[in-house]
Every structure is written in structure tokens, then in C-alpha cells.
Amino acid sequence: MNPPRTDARRHHDPDVRGFASDNYAGAHPEVLAALALANGGHQVAYGEDAYTENLQQVIRSHFGPTAEAFPVFNGTGANVVALQAVTDRWGAVICADSAHINVDEGGAPERVAGIKLLTVPTPDGKLTPELIDREAYGWEDEHRAMPQVVSIAQATELGTVYTPDEIRAICEHAHARGMKVHVDGSRLANAAASLDVPMRTFTNAVGVDILSLGGTKNGALFGEAVVVLNPDGIRHMKHLRKLSMQLASKMRFVSVQLEALLARDLWLRNARHANEMARRLAEGVRAVHGVEILYPVQANAVFARLPHEVSERLQKKFRFYFWDEAAGDVRWMCSFDTTEEDVDTFLAALKEEMARH
């Protein structure tokens, strides 16, 4: 049989590299191969397919026998569905002021899910029981949205990582006050690689109730999952997913990607590599006079402060984002396909521009 004809053309230069986001990377070849494998023939739509069924066993191998995965299209969708599952109409979610659900989701938790966010300033993106208590009050006050959930990100938006004991303390504190705990795990694999422990060690094993599990930033083409870890009191997930426009008709193509990442060690290989490239970048940056690293480099992000005009010149060669443009703070992200050459080339350009400055 002749191969199928295609008129598709490449519209980008595959040699162009950047440090703006781990979303800029393509899909891992093993994920693409899994998609091709799942493509043949017909499978039942809307999640009643063999790949979604098998994904449940893979998820339970990572997160315990009660875990159940609900594949969705994207990270914002995962967070919106998960938070709806653990709040009432009058409920509120306590989170760090730097949290993705607060800063980078276009108001989706508020506008789509109708959830009030109670934000807390943090020095490093991480909540503590003491910080949670700044907003954990007023359950009987009808004039105030009721705190029902604590949401943390692992790794955080500032690239820091909670230890298992830190998350255990948050869960115990939240549960004692009648609240559930949600983890935004778009970079959960990077956190596990950083801590060198299984993902269960800082999720279901320490009391997390529900999880947004990332795939896209770790080598998937698209697709994440809401993972219910503690089913007590969490119902109607299928209805919430559909209502939130996150039900994929051809769900096998989401599920097989997560299976490809999680069934063996691809998720961990990808995360370890991205983290290693971030450490290599940070080590090189520390040797450049006039550039300050702002937070501990514990996952695949490096936050730095340098002269604004230097960043602007660098951005003409490499894509990356300002984090706080007024202060001169920037964020550099490494991906599963970032190479040592990418890092070293960027460092050489940084040193050149700083010398010019």
C-alpha cells in the first residue's frame, strides 16, 4: 500500500530554540508513536475505549487503588473541573497569590466555575498552615464565601517544590477545618524528579483529595487528567467534565498519551532531563556578574533579575517572558527536549549582552 499523500508543509524552523515555556516544545516521539498505535480502526467514543480503560490501571499504579482518572483537554480545564468537584456554589478556594489559577487562567475558576479565590501572599509560592489561616475563617458568616478547599501547585509557579511533609501538614490542617486539598500538578513529574520519590509520596500518601495531572508540559501533544484520589464526597465528575466542555469525543487520543508517559518511565526521564537542564542553566547564570537568581531552582524553571535592556536584546535571539517587567524579573523554562547546547548557547549570549551593558 502506498503511504497516504499529504500536502502539509513545515511552517517553522525546527532549529529555533527558546526558554519561554515548556509548552513550546513539541511532543515526545514515543507519545507520537503511541498516538499512531491508537489510530487504527474504531473505538467507542467519550471514554468507553480500551485506552481510557487501561489508563485507570496505570493511574492506580501511581496513586493507589481508589484513584480514578478523568482525561481532559488542558490544564485550565483540569483545574476548573477539579475545583468544581470539591466546592459548593457558595464555596471558596484558598491559594497562593502567585498560583496559576489566580494569575494565568483568565478568570476561568471565577467565571466558568463560579468559585471565589482567597489569595495569600507567599515569599516562595508555597502555602503553609499559618498562611492558610489568614483566609481560613468565617464558615458561618453568610456575608463571606466559605473556605472549602486549599489549592497548591506542585511544582509551584515560582519553580519551588513542596516536600512530602509540607504537603502532609497542609492536608492535616485543611482536613481538620473541614476543607479538602487540591494539587495543581501541571509539573508534578518535575516535582517527583526533584524530590526523587514516587508521585504518590506527596499526593495520596499524605492526604491530597484531588489532583490536576499534567501531560502537555512533560511531552504530550495535548491532554491532562483530573485524578480523584479520595472519592469521599466527590461525585458527578463525568457531569462536571461535560458541563465544563472538557469531554473529548475521541478520548483514546488523550488517554494513550498519558499511558505512554506513565506506563513506564517516560514521564520521569523527561522531567529529570528538564530539571537537569534548569540546573545547568542556573549554574551558568550564577557565574555571570550582575544577574541574580531569585528563587531556589528545584524543578525546570529559573527566575532571574537582570537589566531590562539586556533582557530585551536577549529576547530577539531567544524567546522568554518577563515575570515582573518593572523589576526586571524574567523566567527561563527548560523542557524535555532542551539540550546542553541550547543552554550553553544561551549562556554565551547572556554573558555577551551583560558585557556590553
What's the confidence (pLDDT) of residue 5? 72
Strands (E), the chain: 68-72, 91-96, 116-120, 146-153, 180-185, 210-213, 224-228, 292-293, 301-305, 321-324, 329-333
Say if residue 45 is in the same domain as residue 84.
yes
Find residue 332's DSSP bridge partners. Answer: 302
Mean pLDDT for the chain? 96
The reported pLDDT for the residue numbered 183 is 98
Region 273-298 average pLDDT: 97
Kindly report, residue by residue over 74-98, the tens digit of the pLDDT.
999 999 999 999 999 999 999 999 9
CATH of the domain at 199: 3.40.640.10
pLDDT tens-digit map of 46-61: 999 999 999 999 999 9
Judge if 270 and 223 occupy the same domain: no
Residue 342 forms part of a structural domain: yes
For residues 90-114, average pLDDT: 97
pLDDT tens, residue by residue, 124-177: 999 999 999 999 999 999 999 999 999 999 999 999 999 999 999 999 999 999
In the chain, what percentage of residues exceed pLDDT 90? 95
Q: What is the pLDDT of residue 1?
A: 56
pLDDT at 8: 83
Q: How many domains does the chain contain in total?
A: 2
Encode pLDDT of 234-245 as tens digits: 989 999 999 999
Q: Are residues 80 and 149 in the same domain?
A: yes
Check whether residue 207 and residue 276 sit in a common domain: no
CA distance 178 to 132: 13
Share of the chain above pLDDT 70, in %: 99
Residue 47 lies in a domain: yes
Residues 279 and 254 occupy one common structural domain:
no
Residue 126's pLDDT is what?
A: 98
Domain boundary at 262, 293, 320, which? Answer: 262
Q: Are the C-beta atoms of residues 254 and 87 closer than 8 Å to each other?
A: no
Contact 215, 62 (CB under 8 A): no
The pLDDT assigned to 348 comes to 97
pLDDT at 3 over 90: no
Range of the domain at 160: 29-262
Average pLDDT of span 279-291: 97
- On whether both 42 and 101 belong to a single domain, the answer is yes
296: domain CATH number is 3.90.1150.10
